[in-house]
Structure 1
Amino acid sequence: MYFTKSLPLCMSFTKTSVLIRFVCCATIIFLVGINTGFPQATDSNWLDVSKVRFQKLLSKHCEYAEGPKKLMTAGEIISQPFQKRDFKTLHPGIPLHLIEKNFMMRIRAWNSSDTIEEFYFTPGYYARNLVIFKADPSDIAGTIHKIPDSISRSTIYSGCRLLKLAPGEKAVYYVSLNFIRTNANSFSPYFIEKDFLRYWLKNVKHRNPLADIITYIIAGILLLMIFYSLAVYLQSRNKEFIFYSVYALCSTILFFVKSYAISESNEWNYLYEEYLDFMIMGLGVYFYLIFVRRFINTKEDHPSMEKFLRVAQWILVGFLGIFSTIYFFTDQFVILYVLENYIIKVYMFGIGVVFVWYSLKKKDKLLNYLAAGNFALLAFSVVSLLLLLGVKFNKSGELASIFNNGLLYYEVGIVLELMFFLSGLAYKNRRDLTERVQERERFKLENERKEFEKQIAIVTTRQEERDRISADMHDELGSGMTAIRLMSEIVRTRMKDQAFPELEKISNSANDLLGKMNSIIWTMKSSNDTLESLVAYLRSHALEYFESTPIVCRVQVPEHIPPTVMSGEKRRNIFLSVKESLNNILKHAHATEVTIQIILKEKQLIIKVSDNGVGIDTEKLRRFGNGLSNMKRRMESIQGDFMVENDRGSVITFVSPL
């Protein structure tokens, strides 16, 4: 009975004891939690900077917010609705709508060590208007303040800010920034140990040394092409090489700066990434179109392509002007992005497709070289554009950064285009050289033809004049000399009882002059300018000359005399030389026989005049020395030869080329 009555009391006491114990344990845990800063309960929210080794990616330790694009005040930034976000959606590309807004971060950090911790914060590269606020977590609104750039900005890398935490200090950092207007943004926030910044920066700038080496090699090749194009221009003054050198210069600047200035955090690089790189590419395409027009001479050889390329140039200039206007006078990025990647680049691609189609249709070898280069450039440009728009190849390790490097594919396309261009240039130079040689030959032949016609006209005029003079001499002088001879003969006949030696002299002189005049007429008459005429005249003269003398004359001529032209000058000198030799034989040789051999041998005319006389006596050579010298002089004047020898009489040889 006692026990039964006391049971509720015992149960009441037990409940009270358990409650007291629970309260005591909770109090102890609370006090311990205050002293230790709740490390176990807040590991996912607070980052211990003393545990950071080298660098720490902050994506899992940040909360994010976005707002209108403006400079945020301390009160505005703490009122933003920060929340966790999937970091994968922000790396490596930034959503387009975030680039047009103010992007904010909230980071909770504390220092568990007993020394001051100094570390750098960077949001990645290509972030403008970076502002950092610091606040005590126990009183955020009352302690938040801006960290001045003059104190926090790194002199090594302007994209970093130096932060400090005292021993045991906790702080909430608010970060406000604007992404630059390019799809090359890469958001990767880091805490970096102060002494590790230089190594971190080196790794960022040279994260893919193989791709950088390839880029620098290609830039060097293009630089050589610039010098080559300028050298060709200075030698040939072909203006198309000026335009190609500008195109190569634009490509060189595009590749070199893109690789060398990667991740640089300054306004110049921001301007380059946002605007200049695309404008340089557009200007390069513009000058390349001018080069193509001049290189293949579209104005004369391909008028339809000339119109197309000329219109395409000005449309491209209009697009670049619209792009520049939107960039400088608005803060829009989505419009710029669409205009650059989906309109202008597609338009450039379309120009290349039309050119390749036209070149293949025409089947011109030079056009085919350029078409092959443009096709290679178009193909690799498409791959490059797809990579810039987010398409990636499934590669791992270092190969991933190479195969997923859009710039590298564009560089490969440029190199292939350059190779085909050089092949086309070699073909064009060879073709132009052949055409120039042919043109020179045509010009030379034309000049020779004109000169020949001129000489023919001169020769014809001379022949006509010779024929006229010979006809006049025959008609006028010949008849006069014949009349003198006849009258002297008539007078002598009538006065035969009286001797007048003067009349005999007049008659002989008239006969002699008439013979000489006939020789001159024969020489001057153009119809006698043949070898056959010369042989016939020599034979006739020799036989007639010795007809009334005791000397027997024999003339041996070839059975066949080829039709060979001989000028009047050459006939005259040969005839007068042979005539002089016959005269010397008649006067001095005391011969009874004379033999004249006319021989045709190896394009030479050989005339041998031999007699059976006393030969040529060196003691008496002076008596007819003038005659021999005259014969020698005449034969040398026509590039001939003259020889005298004794062989049972005298032998005189005349040699003349035919």
Structure 2
Amino acid sequence: MLLKQFFQHKRLATLLVCILLFENAKSQYHFFTKSEVNVASIQTEMLLSPRQFEIATSNTPILNPNDISLLSYKNMEALLPASGKLRGNANSSNIYIKALFSNTSDTTVEVFFYPGYYFKSIFLFRQPTKVGSNVQSLAERKPDFKFEDSYKGIVLQPKESSYYYIQLQPVRIQVNTFRPELINPAFLSAHAARVREDNNQISILTYIIVGILGMMIIFSFANFIVTGKKEFLFYCLYTLFNASILFGKTYLYLSTSDFNYFFEEYMDFALLLGGIVFYVYFLKYFLSINKQTNKLLNLVLNCIEILSIIFAFAYTFTYFLTDDIAGLSIMEMVMKYVILGIGLFFIGLGFKEKSKLINYIMWGNICVIVFGFISLTIIISPVQQSSIFSHALFHYEMGLVGELAFFLLGLTYKSRTELINKIKTEDAVNHENDKKNFEKQLAIIQARQEERNRISADMHDELGGGMTAIRLMSELAKQRTYRENMPEIEKISASANDLLSKMNAIIWSMSPVNDTLSNLIAYIKSYASDFFENTNIQCEVIAPEQIPAIEMTGIKRRNIFLAVKEALNNILNYTDANTVNIAVNINQNLTVIIKDNSTRMSYEEVSVNDNRFVHIKKRMETIQGELYIQNLNGTAVILEIALQK
């Protein structure tokens, strides 16, 4: 009886074990309803469809490979949209793919798995279809070319059929795309080129635009160095940060480097926030905004600056210390709305204020908003085209270049206007200083003229009267003693006449009413005629009938006259001439030619260094004039001085 009960319990236990094994097998195999993938049939590449794999997610990576098979795998549509774009928390989760791969050929087959972009890590696991098999971690196999981290090799032995689990860790951004493919090794390079060829045209354009922005950066920084104006510096930094974002996005496109993942996750948004701060400071200095001039605008810009700094700290804290991708996405979205709000605010302000500088800001923001709207329309449009104009990035770049171009035009306009105003102010100050200096010099000249007039008047009244009295008394004395020869009285009379003549010449040279060329020529005519009046020398003075109204200072008049007088004295005392011709020529220079018909002096005897011409030469040098001597049928003394018309 006991033996019978033992066998009954043993059969029941065996039945229970079989049922458990059956249920386990069902959970692992029979309920996997997806199509088997025959890797031997892949000639180039195969895009895995949702009918060929299941998907599961986990907030933390699973360390035990056997636990991977216990995840709740579902159809792709249950966790991801049909487009494959990862949304929300899926970008911060670990994604697991389950698929059944087989090799129906008689040889070993290798294929490479490509998940899409961007995924930090890819790990492969294999579980044979045999009931009770463990999940095994596969050694990493990578191709030997630039983008090897995006591809992981899978090797299937002849007639092998196994379940494969693929663990993916996406980058914490909102543009990740899940697009699983199996690629034949011979087609890897072509596949990598094809994945990136759609971006070639926009990449070239982006590099050109970055070059343009680079020239703007150099131009604005050079202006800052020259002028020291801070608006040029903050414009330079704002442009630099935007150019860095464009260059990084293009140069690192689909790169599998850790730096690219860091750039996509954190650095691009940090550059955006930094650019916004510099943009605010640019506006403050460009529009000369402060608490006194525009309280509202100053308050708005200060709030934007503070918000950007707060978001920078919050974003940094969230990125490095948490896995909250939703929080990161919210902050990015809020800052985009802030940028939109800034644009709309300045557009409204531009229409209201009618300020030239604000208009440049307004049109720059219009470019950003219009092209940004076009870019957004392309992003949400279900129709995708291959033209470069259908790229959302193209229109974003056009808007950015338009904005920065208008800002730079505004800076140039402001700098030019300030320079013109500065020059006008300096000219006004210089003009005022020149006016004061002129008035001071004029006062000095007038004082000198008044003193000259006083001295000449005193000389005329006092000395002139005295000399005239001496001359008259000497003449009376001569008449009373005409029977006696008294040479002393003759000398007194001659000296009085000579002194009176010299005094008249001094008075003539000092009087400002005589400071004209015509007066000089008339005085020379009068003096020459009187000088040779009681001699046997005939004197003729030839001068133009029309003499231009040219000012001649007293110093010039006096030295020219004394030079002429000295030349006439030399003719009278040292030559046997009986004819003297004085010719006055007026063009760019005043030329006075004193020609005699003397035969007593030869050419060798006469030169400008002759003692008889030393005083004449010194007087001409005093007034920057020239003395020339010619000997041809007599002696010609030529006096020449430049005229200032």
Same fold per TM (> 0.5)? yes
The equivalences for 1:15-164 within 5 A come to 44-58=34-48, 59-71=50-62, 73-74=64-65, 76-86=67-77, 89-128=81-120, 130-139=122-131, 142-147=132-137, 150-151=139-140, 157-164=148-155
User: What one-letter code is carried by the residue in structure 2 that aligns with 1:57?
Assistant: L
Q: Residues 590, 108 of structure 1: CA spacing in aligned structure 2 closer, same or farther, 3 A cutoff?
A: closer
Cross-structure match for 2:489: 503
Letter in 1 for 2:87: P
- Report the alpha carbon displacement of residue 185 of structure 1 after superposing the two structures with TM: 0.7
Query: Structure 2 CA distance, aligned partners of 1:506 and 1:653?
Result: 35
Cα deviation, 1:373-407, whole Å, max 9, x if unaligned, reads 442233223333455xx5125244x34xx455332
Structure 2 residue corresponding to 1:394, chosen from 373, 383, 391: 383
Kept in 2: contact 1:226–1:248 (CA 8 A): yes
Q: CA offset at residue 370 of structure 1?
A: 5.2
State the Cα distance separating 1:365 from its structure 2 match: 5.6
Say if 2:313 is the partner of 1:336. no
* CA deviation vs aligned residue, 1:105-150 (integer Å, no higher than 9, x gap): 32233333333333333432223464544334443xx4333515x5
Map 1:340-379 onto structure 2 (within 5 A).
340-341=332-333, 343-359=334-350, 368-369=359-360, 371-379=362-370
Q: Judge conservation of contact 2:516–2:550 (CA < 8 Å) in 1.
A: yes
| Paired AA for residue 616 in structure 1 | S
Instruction: Tell me the equivalent position of 2:16.
Output: none
Relative to structure 2, which stretch is displaced further, 343-352 or 155-164? Answer: 155-164
| Aligned AA (1:569) | I
Letter in 2 for 1:347: V
More moved, 325-334 vs 283-292: 283-292
Q: CA distance change for structure 1 residues 564 and 191 in 2, over 3 Å: closer, same or farther?
A: closer
Inter-partner Cα distance in structure 2 for 1:439 and 1:118: 81
Gaps of 5+ in 2: 1-28
SS in 1 for 2:503: helix
Report if aligned partners of 1:392, 1:404 keep a CA contact under 8 Å in 2. Answer: no
Match of 2:202 among 182, 206, 211: 211
Q: Which sections of structure 1, spanning at least 5 residues, go unmatched?
A: 1-37
Out of 159, 165, 169, the position equivalent to 1:174 is: 165
What residue in structure 2 maps to residue 190 of structure 1?
181
- The counterpart of 1:411, out of the listed 382, 397, 409, is 397
Q: Tell me by how many angstroms 1:445 deviates.
A: 5.8
Secondary structure at 1:201 match in 2 = helix
3-state secondary structure, aligned to 1:123:
strand
Q: Secondary structure at the match of 2:107?
A: coil
For 2:579 and 2:179, locate their aligned partners in 1 and report how far apart those are by CA, in whole Å.
126
Q: Deviations over 1:346-373 (max 9, x none)?
A: 2112223333444455556666455434
CA distance in 2, matches of 1:471, 1:519: 13
1:313 is matched with 305
Per-residue deviation, residues 289-311 of structure 1 (Å, max 9, x unmatched): 44455566667998676775565
1:561-590 per-residue CA deviation (whole Å, 9 max, x = no partner) reads 775432102221343345456656777899
Give the C-alpha shift of residue 319 in structure 1. Answer: 2.8
Contact 1:393 1:404 in 2 (8 A): no
Match of 2:599 in 1: 617
Whether the 8 Å CA contact 2:591–2:640 is kept in 1: the answer is: yes
Residues 261-296 of structure 1: per-residue CA shift (max 9 Å, x gap):
233334322221111112223323433444455566
Amino acid at match of 1:56: M
Q: CA offsets, 1:57-99, max 9 Å, x none?
A: 2332122333444546446544433222438715242231433
User: Secondary structure at the residue paired with 2:149?
Assistant: coil
Flag the 1:325–1:549 CA change in 2: closer, same or farther, 3 A.
Answer: same
Alpha-carbon distance between aligned partners in 2 of 1:323 and 1:646, rounded to the nearest angstrom: 104
Q: Which residue of 2 aligns with 1:7?
A: none
Q: CA deviation at 1:339?
A: 1.9
Alignment correspondent of 1:381: 372
- Judged with a 3 Å threshold, the aligned counterparts in structure 2 of structure 1 residues 554 and 314 are, in CA distance, closer, same or farther, namely same
Q: Residues 92 and 238 (structure 1 numbering): CA distance in 2 closer, same or farther, change over 3 Å?
A: farther
Please state if 1:520 is matched with 2:510: no
Which residue among 567, 577, 586 is the counterpart of 2:553? 567
1:264 and 1:601, CA in 2 relative to 1: closer, same or farther beyond 3 A? closer
Other structure's SS at 2:81 match: helix
Counterpart Cα distance in 2 of 1:70 and 1:151: 18
Change in 2 beyond 3 A, CA 1:594/1:206? closer
The residue identity in structure 1 corresponding to 2:278 is F
Residue of structure 1 aligned with 2:253, choices 255, 262, 273:
262
Query: How many correspondences in the alignment?
Result: 606
Structure 1 residue 316 displacement after superposition: 2.6
Distance 1:308 1:489, change over 3 A: farther
Deviations 1:595-631 (A, max 9, x none): 989x796687777889xxx943344897998667756
Tell me what 1:17 maps to.
Answer: none
Secondary structure, aligned partner of 1:188: strand
SS in 1 for 2:255: coil
Q: Is the 8 A contact 1:184 1:273 kept in 2?
A: no
Kept in 1, the 8 Å contact 2:239–2:404? The answer is no
Question: Which is worse superposed, 446-455 or 47-56?
Answer: 446-455
Matches within 5 A, 1:241-640: 241-291=232-282, 293-294=284-285, 309=301, 312-341=304-333, 343-359=334-350, 368-369=359-360, 371-385=362-376, 391-392=380-381, 394-396=383-385, 398-399=386-387, 402=388, 405-420=391-406, 452-453=438-439, 455-471=441-457, 473-474=459-460, 477-478=463-464, 481=467, 499-531=485-517, 533-534=519-520, 537-538=523-524, 541=527, 564-580=550-566, 615-619=597-601, 634=619, 637=623, 639=625
